[in-house]
Amino acid sequence: MVIGIVCYPTFGGSGVLATELGIELSKKGYEIHFITYNQPVKLELLDNNVHYHEVNVPDYPLFHYPPYELALSSKLVEMVKKYKIDLLHVHYAIPHAYAAYMAKKMLKDQNIEIPIVTTLHGTDITLVGSHPSYKTAVEFSINNSDFVTAVSKSLKNDTLKLFNISNEIKVIPNFVNLDKYNDKNSKKNLISSTDKIITHVSNFRKVKRINDVIDIFYGINKKIKSKLFMIGDGPEKKKAEKKAKSLGIKDKVVFFGKSNETNQILSFSDLFLLPSEIESFGLSALEAMAAGVPVISSDTGGIPEVNKHNFSGLLSKVGDTEKMVNDAINLLSDEQLLNDFKKNSRKRAEEFDIHNIVPNYENIYKNLINQ
């Protein structure tokens, strides 16, 4: 079976998830074609089963915005015909589901049928998708996909609340490749062995409440000798650096930027912070748990479906940084309790093992293609 995958090639969770899915499918014998504007950041190796096709978007003085979805839909038509792709799986509805629908229509004109699977990831529904400027087209492309999945029950409910959906939506949670988190890396030499390591990974956007991450660490650090590792980059990073400086903890907060060493850093972290405002799933929290790192998080959106309160971590209302600080200090100051939570978080992550989740997508593909 030949599968085309459309996603954002960036560090964000939907791109990471789509890449991991493609690699896992290729290992199972599927021929995989990634079609996007850059090679996905996590797609290290291209082997004979995995291909990448760049969507080129020529500019023109008349264009204020280069029409990416037009270039993407044309590329999809070409690639489906050239490689006899059986099915397109698009990740993040905007503009991928819409472009895939246009490609499907263009191919139908040439008597080629191609099923489209759309996976909803989060802000394509909650933040951006439901904006009046996009809502009509997003609703249309969800209702005209051949199959729709959402990464959490919370996101499915948000979709049904925010849009007039006539299509079924199946919840298939994100997954993690646990083999990638068994590495006990020597990076521990970066820090003095007595420091507790607190880590945060995100795209540093407003929804992640980066200021809360700094405030929570500031509160922890008053009682616990610790360091904060901040991985990722985005619009809120500068403000976070300024806040760390103004609180006098600049030397205790390390900003790594976009890093391909997240797994190594997680392998010696003691706690992960995710105090998001909005979060459909929280893939970064699942990755931390896979590395045996307990999570202090807010209870927004799909996070409670991932981070099990009082088992793999502790949850609080959005913005309740005081409780998050107290929960963190209670965990970090009791070695036995911390080790129990570390073991539990790895156990919780095993419930999202890639080998158990990916067959759900395979079944969808097979049903659609054999229809």
Q: In what side-by-side order are the strands of the sheet with 170-171?
A: 50-54, 31-36, 2-6, 87-91, 116-120, 147-150, 170-171
Q: How far is the CB of 224 from ligand GMT (least distance, A)?
A: 28
Q: How far is the CB of 222 from ligand GMT (least distance, A)?
A: 30
Subset of 146-165 contacting ligand GMT (CB under 6 A):
151
Pick from 4, 173, 232, 282: which binds ligand GMT (CB under 6 A)?
Answer: 282
The answer to whether 278 contacts ligand GMT (rule: CB under 6 A) is yes
The token duo for 38 is 């850059």
Q: How far is the CB of 152 from ligand GMT (least distance, A)?
A: 8
The token duo for 248 is 């006098």
* Binding string, residues 284-313; x marks residues near ligand GMT by CB under 6 A: ------------------------------
For residues 295 and 146, give the distance between their C-alpha atoms in angstroms, rounded to a whole number: 36
For residues 169 and 227, give the distance between their C-alpha atoms in angstroms, rounded to a whole number: 42
The answer to whether 13 contacts ligand GMT (rule: CB under 6 A) is yes
The answer to whether 174 contacts ligand GMT (rule: CB under 6 A) is yes
Three-state DSSP state, 160: helix
For residues 364 and 227, give the distance between their C-alpha atoms in angstroms, rounded to a whole number: 45
Residue nearest to ligand GMT (CB): 122
The answer to whether 361 contacts ligand GMT (rule: CB under 6 A) is no
The token duo for 320 is 């309740």
Three-state DSSP state, 240: helix
β-strand partners of 313: 295, 309
Judged by CB, which is closer to ligand GMT: 41, or 369? 41
HSE-CB for 353 with a 13 A CA cutoff: 8
Q: How far is the CB of 250 from ligand GMT (least distance, A)?
A: 27
Question: Would you mind telling me the total number of residues written for the chain in this entry?
Answer: 371
Subset of 202-261 contacting ligand GMT (CB under 6 A):
203, 205, 207
The token duo for 368 is 């659609």
Pick from 95, 115, 122, 294: which binds ligand GMT (CB under 6 A)?
Answer: 122
Judged by CB, which is closer to ligand GMT: 203, or 316? 203
Pick from 17, 85, 142, 214: which binds ligand GMT (CB under 6 A)?
Answer: 17
Q: Give the count of beta carbons closer than 10 Å to the beta carbon of residue 370.
A: 6
The residue range among 105-113, 117-125, 134-142, 181-189 that interacts with ligand GMT, by the rule CB under 6 A, is: 117-125
The residue range among 138-146, 213-221, 280-288, 326-334 that interacts with ligand GMT, by the rule CB under 6 A, is: 280-288
How far apart, in Å, are the Cα atoms of 261 and each of 55, 195, 214, 352? 28, 20, 21, 22
The answer to whether 36 contacts ligand GMT (rule: CB under 6 A) is no
Pick from 14, 26, 141, 154: which binds ligand GMT (CB under 6 A)?
Answer: 14
Judged by CB, which is closer to ligand GMT: 271, or 285? 285
The answer to whether 20 contacts ligand GMT (rule: CB under 6 A) is no
Q: How far is the CB of 209 from ligand GMT (least distance, A)?
A: 11
Asked if 217 contacts 273 with a C-beta cutoff of 8 angstroms, the reply is: yes
Report phi then psi at 120, rounded to 5: -85, 135
Q: Measured at the alpha carbon of residue 89, what is the angle toward residues 85 and 90, in degrees to the nearest 5?
A: 125
For residues 258 and 239, give the distance between their C-alpha atoms in angstroms, rounded to a whole number: 17
The answer to whether 321 contacts ligand GMT (rule: CB under 6 A) is no
Note the residues at the interface with ligand GMT (CB under 6 A).
Answer: 8, 12-15, 17, 92, 121-123, 151, 174, 203, 205, 207, 278-283
